Each structure stands twice: as C-alpha cells, then as structure tokens.
Amino acid sequence: MEPRGLPRLLMHLANGLVILFIMLPIVAVVLGSLQPERTLQGESRRVIPSEWTLDNFTVILTQGQQKGRIFEQATYLPDNIKSFYRAFANSLIVALGVTLLTVGFGALSAYTVARLELRWALWLMQANVVARFLPAIVLMIPLYVVVRSLGQLNTLHAVVLTETGFLLPYAIVILVPFFANIPADLEDAARIDGCTHFQAFWRIILPLSAPGLAACAVIMFIISWHELLIPLILNSRPEFMTLPVIVASLVGDVHVFFNLLMAICLLSLLPTVILVALLQRYVVEGLAAGAVKG
Amino acid sequence: MALLAPESLGDANRAGKDARRGTGELSRGALGVAMNLPTIGLLLLVLAYPVVYAGYLSLHQVGIAQLRRGVFPWNNGDNYARLLEDPLFALALKNTILFTLLVVGVEVVLAIAIALLLNQASLWTSRLARLLILIPYGVPPITNGLIWSFMYSFQFGFLNRVLFSSGLINEPVNWAGNPNTALYAVAVAYIWRTLPFAVLIVHAALQGIPRELHEAATVDGASAWQRFRSITLPLLMPVIIIILILRTSFAFAVFEEILAITQGGPGDASYVAAWYTYKLTFSPPNNIGMGAASAYVLALLVGLFAIAYVRLLYRRIA
C-alpha cells in the first residue's frame, strides 16, 4: 500500500521534520566546535561562521601544550581539559571492565533462568526486572557512605564493581530471550551425547547466542560509557575521573566558552555514536529483546 | 547418564576439559546456584544492601561530622518530617511529576507517529530517517545536556541563530533562563535523547503485525484511520504500555540534563527530585540522612511503576 499524491508529500515533509529534529543538535555541536570564540560571540545571529578553526580540538588533544591561535591570549584553562586522555582511558577501562563482567555474569544467570527450569530462577528474573528501575541516585547515597568507610573512594575498581551490579539486571533481561530462543532439541541432543548441562551451555548455547551476546555487550558498553552519577560521586580526583565527569565539571565554568565546550562534547560522544552507527542491528535487537520479550 | 550428587563447579569444569562424560555432573539445582553466585553476590552487595542501608541512613542523623566519627545518631524520623515541610521538596516533586507526564505523553504519541512514518519503506526520506533515528541513543546524557545548553543560550545559542537566520524571530528568546519555560526546555532535550528507544520498540512491534490484516481490512473498505484505530493501535497496546511504564520511571529520575542546562534554575524553577536529592547530599552542608530520606521517597514512587511493569510482563508471558 504505497501512499501517493498529497499523503506522500506530507509524509516526506514529516520525515523532513523528524530528520531536522534529530540533526539540529548534532549540527550545533559540530559547528560550535569548529569556530573560534570570536565569531561565536561577535556573530551571534549567524548559523555558519565566517571563520573556521581546529584549535579547539588542538588544545584539548595536546592537553593544553599547543594552544593554537585562538587560545594564545588565554591564561587559564581548566585542569580537567588537560586530563582528557586520562579521562578517556579511564572511561575505556571502566566500560570494557563493566561490559566483560556484565556479559559474563549475565550469561551464567540468563542460562539458568532460560534453560534450567528452576522455580527460584524465575523469582530471580523478576527481581532483576524490578532492580532495573532503581534510580542510581538512590543507591549512590548509601554506596558513597560504604565505599568511603572502606577507603575505596577514588579507585576505578569501585566504579567498575558498582556499575556492574547496577547494570547486571538489565544484561540478564536482555540475554534471557536470546537463550530461550535456541531450539531445545540442540541441547537435548548434546545431553544425549553425554554433555553435562554446563558443557551444553558452554559449547551449544553460548556459541549459538553470539548475536545476543554481542547485542548485550554493545548496550552495556554504551550505558557504561554514558554513566555520570556513579563515577561523579565515587571519584573526585582528576586522575580517576571518567569522560562524563570531566564534561560535567565544565558546567558553569565561566572561563570555558561554547567553542571549547562543544569540542569536548563532540569528542565524548563520538565513540558511542560511531558504535551505534556501526552496530545498529545489534543495538536494535538488544533493546527490543530487553524491553519487550523479557 | 546418571545425575550425581551436587559437587563443586570446579568438578564440572574439569569434567568438561577432560571430555570425560558423566563423571561429576551437578544436579540442575546445584548448577543453577553455582552459576548464579556472582550475580546474587553482586545484587546483594550493590543493590539489596544499599537499599536497606539507605533506609537506615534516612532514619539517622548523618552529616560530614557524623561520617568522620562513624556514629550516626537516631533522629526519630526527623529527616522525613523536615523533608515534608520543605517547600523546595514539594516543588521538586511537583516539577518531577509535570516533567514526567509531559515527557511520557509526548514520547508515546511521537513514537507511534514516527514509527508509522519510518515503516513506509517506499519513501526514501523514511529510509534516511530510519538510518539516523538511533544517533541520539549514542550521545551521553551529560553531553546531551551541554549541547542543549548551547542550543538554548540566550545570547549565543544555536536555536536563536537558526531562528534569526530564517527570520522567525527578531529578538533573542531566553529558552532555558525563563522560569516559565526552563522545565519545558529540559524536557525537549530529554525527549531528544530518549525518543529513539521508544520509536525503535514501536517500530519492531509494527513489523510484527501481519500485512494480511491490513489488506483484508482494505478490501472490506476500511479507511486508513479506521485500520489504525482497530488493527494497529490495539496490537501496539502492550508495547505502548511498556514504554509508558519504562519511561515514566526513568523520567522520574532525570538528572544529567537538569545538571547541564539549568542546575535547577533559574531560581529553583526547574528543581526535580533527583537534583534535589543530589544537592542536599553532595553539596554543603551535606545532609546525607535527609538526602537518603528524599531518595527513599523517589524510590518508592518508582517502585510502584516497577511492580506494575513486572506484573504486566509476567501476566502476558504466563
């Protein structure tokens, strides 16, 4: 049923509005990051600047060593901008650690829920679904007190562990439908051939669920890369900050203007936006599985 | 193969490596417990224990001084009493509810409309929009907030630039700095980031609706609107309810966009529950006990939605 005539035109128009809405902030961050402070302030009614520059990126990526033309006069640069690489590395360590742990532990749990037909496993699953709703701010107050009393503030492992516990329920909810969809015959055949349940899990279910594991891993990485509250509250020293914490620390800093701000915003969103673009199929499958089929 | 008495997981692993069958298999129950040990341990440590401990903190006097000494005196529900008397808490709750209703209402309607639009595979603009729709999901919430603070900036904002250039305004608009519009400005930024998820879920459900249903209805002379009302919408209902519950509970805890765009301001016009809790706890004078009480109220409200969600899901599956 292809729409024709006026409805077709209206649909093109509506699509145009949708695309405009999606792209407007992206265009803003790109244009904002590619111009000097001077045009951003002086030409406050122009969309396309009269002058372009890469200096905003240069100053961030050289950690303030090369200031470029537009920051020549600048006497002050926030320290957090200078620790960009450290924050990037921290974010990467945390996100990879969290992804590995959530997918690993999640797969073990999801198998028992989906395959072992245990009554209490269903309860565990329901607890996981409920746990997904706990707002981070609720957990972070007691966790701050606990982590502080254990002397583990300003460490990466406390952040990894907290995020893993926080995301594990969601990982399980995503994985269960993938495991449940693998035909029971395959596992039964392996059992008849003498595999233990664990061998069946390891050799049959896991390899066959590779797309599900990939989907879960991408989503876990993205959420961990985006997480602000947990590292913000647990880590206050610059050397342990993650990228979102650095970005948040620039809010309200009167010495940082939008050109530099947009450059660091662009750098912080690129990894996960590229991931979403490249692995769109997995992201879509994982999100759908985690929301609907759980 | 005989199922032997429960043994350690190490035995099961060794049996796997030796490929020797039936030597030491765990019972299903024991294997289930063994495989869930990391999960159960983490859930207890990072989720269950903190929730209980937050309850404990919320009933005691906990500030920086008490933290240093490690002694939290009982204070007779004073945290809750002060919370309920605080007009800022009432305002934060009111704003949270307004924000949530707005976001959820707009997202459900937009998600259905956009998903239907993206489903028109014969339009090249639909295919393009489908390619782009997921981009906002990749943007970190705090980054999203900062980008929108540039969009909304009174003097230098991108939105005003676009509107000036297209001749739609002559004076700059103070989108986020006006107490009457600040909360709505944050809502738009929040919707931008979270809408893709809703569109995606509705779109997936749309593709599950058999074409024959629509074709049969068309043959019977049903208009497009009639087909939407009596075929598409009822079949989308379960998904719509899921989005409603999920988004409601997540929007209740909105934090990053508030932090980046308004910091609760101007004045306290855009204070929401999570921001109130955060400021109370983590900025001087660090009233952690009262913050925990505020967090508990927030958790209670979200918990109601969570229970509704679980009931819905498992009734459908059963």
Domain ranges of chain A: 5-79, 82-293
Q: What SS3 string covers chain B?
A: CCCCCCCCHHHHHHHHHHCCCCCCCCCHHHHHHHHHHHHHHHHHHHHHHHHHHHHHHHCECCCHHHHHHCCCCECCCHHHHHHHHCHHHHHHHHHHHHHHHHHHHHHHHHHHHHHHHHCCCCCHHHHHHHHHCCHHHHCCHHHHHHHHHHHHCCCCCHHHHHHHHCCCCCCCCCCCCCCCCHHHHHHHHHHHHHHHHHHHHHHHHHHCCCHHHHHHHHHCCCCHHHHHHHHHHHHHHHHHHHHHHHHHHHHCCCCHHHHHHCCCCCCCCCCCHHHHHHHHHHCCCCCHHHHHHHHHHHHHHHHHHHHHHHHHHHHHHC
- Preferred mutation among A113, A130, A138, A150 to probe B, highest tally of B CBs within 10 A: A138
Q: Which residues, given as ranges, of chain A have pLDDT below 70?
A: 1, 72-75, 292-294
Contact B51 A247 (CB under 8 A): no
pLDDT digits (tens, 9 = 90+) for B156-184: 889 988 898 888 888 888 888 888 999 99
| pTM: predicted TM-score of the whole model, two decimal places | 0.89
- Cα of B108 to nearest chain A Cα, Å: 15
Q: What is the pLDDT of residue B182?
A: 92
Task: Indicate the pLDDT class of residue B11, thresholds 50, 70 and 90.
Answer: very low
Share of chain B above pLDDT 90, in %: 30
Contact B138 A121 (CB under 8 A): no
Q: How many inter-chain contacts (A to B, CB under 8 Å) are there?
A: 332
Q: Is the pLDDT of residue B1 over 50?
A: no
Lookup: tokens for B216: 């049969």
Q: Is the pLDDT of residue B304 over 80?
A: yes
Count Cβ atoms below 10 Å from residue A47 Cβ, excluding itself.
15
- Preferred mutation among B23, B131, B150, B272 to probe A, highest tally of A CBs within 10 A: B150
Q: Taking the domains of chain B in order of start, what are their residue ranges?
A: 80-317
Q: What is the pLDDT of residue A96?
A: 96
Q: What is the pLDDT of residue B15?
A: 40
Tell whether A184 is within 8 A of chain B (Cβ).
no
- Chain A residues touching residue B153 (CB < 8 angstroms): 258
Lookup: tokens for B244: 């409603």
Query: Which CATH superfamily, name and number, covers A82-293?
Result: MetI-like (1.10.3720.10)
Which residue has better confidence, B203 or B218? Answer: B203
pLDDT digits (tens, 9 = 90+) for A177-223: 898 888 888 888 888 888 888 888 888 888 888 999 999 999 999 99
Q: What is the pLDDT of residue A63?
A: 79
Find the CB nearest B125 among A15, A172, A265: A15
Q: Is the pLDDT of residue B22 over 60?
A: no
Task: Indicate the pLDDT class of residue B21, thresholds 50, 70 and 90.
Answer: very low
Find the CB nearest A198 among B31, B218, B243: B31
- Give the fold, CATH level 3, of B80-317: MetI-like fold (1.10.3720)
Tell whether A29 is within 8 A of chain B (Cβ).
yes
